[in-house]
A and B are shown apart, each in its own frame.
Chain A
Amino acid sequence: MIAPDTALTPEMAARDDIITCRGVKKWFGDFQALHGIDLVVKDREVMVVLGPSGSGKSTLIRCINRLEVHQEGDIIVDGIELTNDLRNIDKIRSEVGMVFQSFNLFPHLTVLENVTLAPIWVRKKPKAEAIDLAMALLERVGIPEQAEKFPGQLSGGQQQRVAIARSLAMEPKIMLFDEPTSALDPEMISEVLDVMKVLAREGMTMIVVTHEMGFAREVADRVVFMEDGAVVEINQPEPFFTAPESDRTKLFLSQIL
């Protein structure tokens, strides 16, 4: 059993808990995907989740904005507990942004409409204001000139950057990244990671599921290693990569590095 606040620096430990998972268990039919996860994410922390495929890392972050429903345990996001109460779910979803492996942009809307949709319909922002915000965000992710195009006309890296802008348009407190670069051609990975690095530096709370070890090493405050639906090791990136404690982590790192 690993304490959820393992490896926090004293400065970090003093911050508020923004996500708390206590004994989260999740089954898909007979298959148990999460075996009691205990985890604390601090405000403005960047947490990278590593692990072999099928280890439950995607399931875990999908539980955090309730795209998947956990059956046991508690998840508390920014002081709100995830229950079946629809109002809580809507509230959490509007504060938690999510970026998917397969982008999931809306293909029938232009890039600008993709980014302004949620601010207008969920946040009820005036249209002009939403457009200004969207253009500023597209500028930040480096593709303001693509605003009038449709997602299908963009490269994968550009699409993923639009997806990030779309999530940021909701002005979330937390961003979840579910393998954001796994579906990209190698030459496009860096443009997406660069955007994420700047976000992290600006103090966004992020949970990133990824296989990009370089990114984890450079940006993460803590690295979590999961296997078979359980947390195996939590550590700061330097000790995690140079001196892993558990044998399973060592095996995983030796296979991947």
Chain B
Amino acid sequence: MSDTQTLVTDDAEEPAASTRPEIPIVPPRRWIKENLFSSKSNGVQTVLFSALMLSIVRWLLSLIFAEASDWTSVTTNMRLLFAYNYPAAQFIRVWFCLGVIIVAAMLTMGAWNAKPEFSLRKMAISTTAGGGFLAVIWFMCTVGFGFAPLQKVDGMSSGLRLGTFLLAALLIALGLGVLNFVHEPHKIWIKFTTMLFALTGSVLGFLWLVPFGRYEFADGEVINESGTVATSTKVPWTYMMLLLVGAYFVGRWLRQFIPEANYRMVMIVWWIVGPSFLIFHVLRDPAFDMGYVFRVDVPMALAFGLGGGALLYALAKPGRGEIARAIGAVLLLFAAYNWLTAGLGSGHLFGWESMLQKARITFLMLSFAVLMAPTFSGEPAARRRFAYGWIGFIAISHWLITGINTPSTLDIAAPPFLGGFVLTLAIAYYVFLASFPLGILMALARTSKLPLFRVMATVYIEFIRGIPLITVLFFFSIMINLFLPNGMSIAELGSVFVGYTLFSGAYMAENIRGGLQAIRKGQYEASDALGLTTVQRTLLIVLPQALRVTIPNLVGQAIGTFKETSLIAIVGGFDLLRIGNSTIPAQSVFQGQKRPALLFVCFVYWVFSYSMSRASRRLETKLGVGD
């Protein structure tokens, strides 16, 4: 076996290196003739539907401009819409979080070496089309057709009209110029860095050159004082855009020094842990009692981290699987007993019931980790990684739990410190993050060979899928505290999150089950024939493939989750929709003005949903799911 004699020398031909596909070029006139006026009926349809679309555009324009002055209700309330009643003096924390997220996003692009390129021809076509759309807007607001559904729209100011006209002319000239005078534009690809600079430049130019007027609003009064972080957007956004560009290059630069796998792992861990850090430690700002932290929290974390790490390192040694399972089972029983005694409040058996909640949670986690030890067993380096992973997990989870349980310095009148779009994003993020493992577990259980798991998962999934989300939310916002052990309670938003996660998890499970079914039987047989255990087969072979197939559906579900967070408005959360629909119309200055705020809310939801779906399409092509 050891000699390295080459058995076969004649090699089959290598598959041809993939090249960029040629885009067949059709001149615009022929394209219009072939696609819009290929026959008489086709021509009639084109004219009719163009008229219909024009009238829809006109209707939208009339919505936007008919009450031109009313947009002050949105511009004034920007802060409210995005962060609700977060104290103005502390607003720099919100910007800090945004900055961190922008930096992380750009570093992530660096880690995956993402530098999407854009075909000049496609860009030119989009530019022309955008200019054309602006021209239509200008036409409808300035001239119009003069008859019923296509009349001129009143209310657009002359300055805005001029600006629209100039911008439309510029875009059309630019687009057509490129298409007609640049040689073979479809073969020219614009680099991502160029796009990044262009984007930054246009956003900054837009911010500093276009007069928005000054609308600030604090505590029910319109104010005109400007320049602070809380009341201005120009200055912070300028910093954000600079961060965006800077972080992208830093990310690319870091690639040279950090091994790709480590870099990616750091970014993945950040996206799982980082947002919690921002929410609970930056936005909420806990006031630590350092004496208590050093007396109780740090020693406890050290004991669990180091003790648990040593235990895991010892148990992950190959051949100790049996002992590990036995110890894991004992720890699991102990942890369960701890939760039960807390729940029943049944007294003083060994004094364990007084154990801190954090210790209880950690014990449960430790028992799971010990049960997983045989799967991660291996050479000392691998076992050390496993142990370090546990220590890192303890450090992060204890830090967060301590932070959450510590009183906040934040001076907010109403209890939830999250509101507006920040709340929408936070709920969507956490629900997706938590329902993902839940969905995977339930999908695996439903396809399991063990009838008990199968029945449990099926009952859960089918039960939840038969109930409307809003019912689940009502139920959990009222009922969950009744089911919790004595002395435990969850804030209203927490219970909404639990209910929504259970709901989302059921749908996630069905999506993932679809992916599991797409895996061929041969993959299971090959893993079995190699001697992989069931857990290894699931984690290394089955799930990676199943999830890859499921990506389009998962992104669809993420978008759905994001949009349906609007339902938490009904059970008491002050999210983006509730502020647009109830809070702003209730302000004395903007009494009853719903339309602009709701249009704006639509726009925000749409921008985010559409970006997500575009990003997922890119991801699909990159992973080759589409073919």
Using a CB–CB distance below 8 Å, which chain A residues touch chain B?
65, 67, 90, 93-94, 96-98, 100, 102, 104-108, 117-118, 120-122, 124-127, 136, 139-143, 153-155, 157-158, 161, 163, 166-168, 170-171, 188, 191, 194-195, 198, 202
| Beta-carbon contact of B523 and A142 below 8 Å | no
Assuming A90-B533, A136-B4, A140-B4, what are 6 further A-B pairs, CB within 8 angstroms?
Answer: A104-B522, A120-B378, A124-B382, A140-B5, A155-B15, A171-B1
Q: Tell whether A122 pairs with B1 under 8 Å between CB atoms, given A100-B526, A106-B523, A194-B7.
A: no
Q: Does B621 contact A (CB under 8 A)?
A: no
B residues near A142, Cβ cutoff 8 Å: 6-9, 11
Instruction: Report the separation of the CA atoms of residues A158 and B532 in the bound assembly, to the nearest whole angstrom.
Output: 24
CB distance from A208 to the nearest CB of B (A): 15
Q: Does B529 contact A (CB under 8 A)?
A: yes
| Beta-carbon contact of B526 and A104 below 8 Å | yes
B residues near A105, Cβ cutoff 8 Å: 526
CB distance from A4 to the nearest CB of B (A): 24
CB nearest to B9 among chain A residues: A142
Q: Does B148 contact A (CB under 8 A)?
A: no
Instruction: Report the separation of the CA atoms of residues A94 and B2 in the bound assembly, to the nearest whole angstrom.
Output: 19
B residues near A100, Cβ cutoff 8 Å: 522, 525-526, 529
Pick from A121, A126, A141: contact of B532, CB under 8 Å: A121
CB nearest to A101 among chain B residues: B522
| Beta-carbon contact of B530 and A124 below 8 Å | no
Q: Tell whether A126 pairs with B381 under 8 Å between CB atoms, given A100-B526, A140-B5, A155-B12.
A: yes
Which B residues from 361 to 393 make CB contacts under 8 A with A?
A: 377-379, 381-382
Q: Does B548 contact A (CB under 8 A)?
A: yes
| Beta-carbon contact of B540 and A121 below 8 Å | yes
| Beta-carbon contact of B379 and A124 below 8 Å | yes
Q: Does B38 contact A (CB under 8 A)?
A: no
B residues near A121, Cβ cutoff 8 Å: 378, 532, 536, 540
| Beta-carbon contact of A158 and B12 below 8 Å | yes
Q: Does B246 contact A (CB under 8 A)?
A: no
| Beta-carbon contact of A161 and B8 below 8 Å | yes
A residues near B531, Cβ cutoff 8 Å: 90, 93-94, 118, 122, 170
Instruction: Report the separation of the CA atoms of residues A197 and B232 in the bound assembly, to the nearest whole angstrom.
Output: 77
A residues near B541, Cβ cutoff 8 Å: 106
CB distance from B18 to the nearest CB of A (A): 9
In the complex, how many residues of chain B place their beta carbon closer than 8 angstroms to a beta carbon of chain A?
36
Q: Does B289 contact A (CB under 8 A)?
A: no
| Beta-carbon contact of A108 and B379 below 8 Å | no
Tell me the interface secondary structure of chain B in the complex: loop
Q: Tell whether A168 pairs with B1 under 8 Å between CB atoms, given A100-B525, A153-B15.
A: yes
Q: Does B545 contact A (CB under 8 A)?
A: yes
CB nearest to B525 among chain A residues: A67
Q: Does B411 contact A (CB under 8 A)?
A: no
Instruction: Report the separation of the CA atoms of residues A168 and B2 in the bound assembly, to the nearest whole angstrom.
Output: 11
Q: Does B544 contact A (CB under 8 A)?
A: yes
CB nearest to A143 among chain B residues: B11
Instruction: Report the separation of the CA atoms of residues A190 and B400 in the bound assembly, to the nearest whole angstrom.
Output: 61
Instruction: Report the separation of the CA atoms of residues A100 and B529 in the bound assembly, to the nearest whole angstrom.
Output: 10
| Beta-carbon contact of B545 and A104 below 8 Å | no
9 A-B pairs whose Cβ atoms sit less than 8 Å apart in the complex: A67-B529, A90-B533, A100-B522, A117-B530, A122-B532, A194-B7, A195-B7, A198-B7, A202-B1
CB distance from B260 to the nearest CB of A (A): 13
Q: Does B552 contact A (CB under 8 A)?
A: no
CB nearest to B526 among chain A residues: A104
B residues near A125, Cβ cutoff 8 Å: 379
Instruction: Report the separation of the CA atoms of residues A117 and B541 in the bound assembly, to the nearest whole angstrom.
Output: 10
| Beta-carbon contact of A67 and B8 below 8 Å | no
CB distance from B6 to the nearest CB of A (A): 6
A residues near B379, Cβ cutoff 8 Å: 124-127
Instruction: Report the separation of the CA atoms of residues A153 and B18 in the bound assembly, to the nearest whole angstrom.
Output: 11
A residues near B378, Cβ cutoff 8 Å: 120-121, 124, 126
Q: Tell whether A104 pairs with B381 under 8 Å between CB atoms, given A90-B533, A142-B6, A166-B530.
A: no
| Beta-carbon contact of B528 and A93 below 8 Å | yes
| Beta-carbon contact of B523 and A141 below 8 Å | no
Q: Does B318 contact A (CB under 8 A)?
A: yes
Instruction: Report the separation of the CA atoms of residues A104 and B526 in the bound assembly, to the nearest whole angstrom.
Output: 6
CB nearest to A121 among chain B residues: B536
CB nearest to B375 among chain A residues: A121
Q: Does B10 contact A (CB under 8 A)?
A: yes
Q: Tell whether A102 pairs with B530 under 8 Å between CB atoms, given A142-B6, A158-B12.
A: no
B residues near A93, Cβ cutoff 8 Å: 528-531
CB distance from B176 to the nearest CB of A (A): 41
| Beta-carbon contact of A191 and B526 below 8 Å | no
| Beta-carbon contact of B540 and A117 below 8 Å | yes
CB nearest to B379 among chain A residues: A126
| Beta-carbon contact of B6 and A139 below 8 Å | yes
| Beta-carbon contact of B523 and A104 below 8 Å | yes
Task: Point out which of B1, B378, B382, B536 has the most chain A C-beta atoms below 10 A from its C-beta.
Answer: B1
Which B residues from 68 to 82 make CB contacts under 8 A with A?
A: none
A residues near B548, Cβ cutoff 8 Å: 108
| Beta-carbon contact of A141 and B318 below 8 Å | no
| Beta-carbon contact of B8 and A141 below 8 Å | yes
Convert B272-304 into 0s and 1s, putting 1 for each residue whose CB lies closer than 8 angstroms to a CB of A. Answer: 000000000000000000000000000000000
B residues near A170, Cβ cutoff 8 Å: 530-531
Task: Point out which of A104, A122, A202 has the most chain B C-beta atoms below 10 A from its C-beta.
Answer: A104
A residues near B8, Cβ cutoff 8 Å: 141-143, 161, 191, 194-195
Convert B513-543 into 0s and 1s, putting 1 for each residue whose CB lies closer than 8 angstroms to a CB of A. Answer: 0000000101101101111110010001100
| Beta-carbon contact of A141 and B530 below 8 Å | no
Instruction: Report the separation of the CA atoms of residues A122 and B378 in the bound assembly, to the nearest whole angstrom.
Output: 9
Instruction: Report the separation of the CA atoms of residues A118 and B318 in the bound assembly, to the nearest whole angstrom.
Output: 14
Instruction: Report the separation of the CA atoms of residues A140 and B531 in the bound assembly, to the nearest whole angstrom.
Output: 23
CB nearest to A140 among chain B residues: B7
B residues near A67, Cβ cutoff 8 Å: 525, 528-529
CB distance from A64 to the nearest CB of B (A): 11
| Beta-carbon contact of A191 and B10 below 8 Å | yes
CB distance from B526 to the nearest CB of A (A): 4
A residues near B526, Cβ cutoff 8 Å: 98, 100, 104-106, 163
Instruction: Report the separation of the CA atoms of residues A186 and B575 in the bound assembly, to the nearest whole angstrom.
Output: 65
Task: Point out which of A121, A161, A188, A191 has the most chain B C-beta atoms below 10 A from its C-beta.
Answer: A121
Task: Point out which of B4, B9, B531 has the most chain A C-beta atoms below 10 A from its C-beta.
Answer: B531
B residues near A108, Cβ cutoff 8 Å: 544-545, 548
Instruction: Report the separation of the CA atoms of residues A198 and B4 in the bound assembly, to the nearest whole angstrom.
Output: 12
CB distance from A22 to the nearest CB of B (A): 23
| Beta-carbon contact of B4 and A191 below 8 Å | no
CB nearest to B534 among chain A residues: A86
CB distance from B528 to the nearest CB of A (A): 6
